């Protein structure tokens, strides 16, 4: 594999999920870019790039309603001040990344990036991440 599943998660899925979280926090909860940057431990420039789709645009996370729901739940937890600890926020973000991978939502993107990948034969992500993703929902 030219692009590992970990690289796929870090370079493509996580930024797309962060982009969606930033959009929700900005548009639905009225946070400023500065507030979002402080809460998520990002620079204001990074938040701006998410908003302008210069970052995190590879995957339209909204089409996966279950994943979008998880991101919305995280935004609600942040907005209601039930979660403010960055470690907890990122544990939940990484859990969403693993759930996305375990459901094979991004196999076609992996295939575009690495023609050696055959999504019909590969079951690595579901086998590795399904149980972790389920535990993270609790």
41-56 per-position pLDDT tens digit: 999 999 999 999 999 9
Which residue do the tokens 């149980």 mark? 131
pLDDT, residue 131, reads 82
Mean pLDDT of the chain, nearest integer? 94
How many angstroms separate the CA atoms of 92 and 71, rounded? 9
Three-state DSSP state, 116: coil
The boundaries of the domain holding residue 61 are 5-137
Q: How many domains does the chain have?
A: 1
Closest listed residue to residue 101, CA positions, set 129, 120, 79: 129
Whether 1 has a pLDDT exceeding 80, the answer reads no
What's the pTM value of the predicted model, to 2 decimals? 0.93
Supply the DSSP string of 31-67, one letter for each residue: --HHHHHHHHT--HHHHHHHHTTSSS-SS-GGGSHHH
13-43 per-position pLDDT tens digit: 999 999 999 999 999 999 999 999 999 999 9
Mean pLDDT of 78-85: 95
Whether 83 has a pLDDT exceeding 70, the answer reads yes
């Amino acid at each position: 594999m030219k692009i590992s599943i970990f690289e796929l998660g870090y370079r493509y899925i996580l930024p797309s999920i962060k982009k969606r979280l930033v959009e929700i926090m900005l548009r639905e909860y009225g946070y400023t870019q500065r507030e979002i940057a402080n809460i998520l431990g990002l620079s204001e420039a990074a938040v701006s790039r998410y908003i302008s789709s210069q970052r995190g645009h590879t995957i339209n996370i909204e089409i996966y309603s279950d994943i979008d729901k998880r991101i919305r739940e995280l935004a609600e937890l942040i907005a209601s001040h039930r979660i403010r600890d960055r470690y907890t926020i990122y544990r939940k973000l990484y859990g969403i990344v693993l759930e996305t991978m375990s459901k094979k939502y991004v196999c076609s993107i992996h295939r575009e990036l690495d023609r050696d990948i055959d999504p019909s034969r590969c079951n690595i992500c579901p086998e590795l991440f399904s149980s972790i993703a389920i535990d993270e929902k609790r």
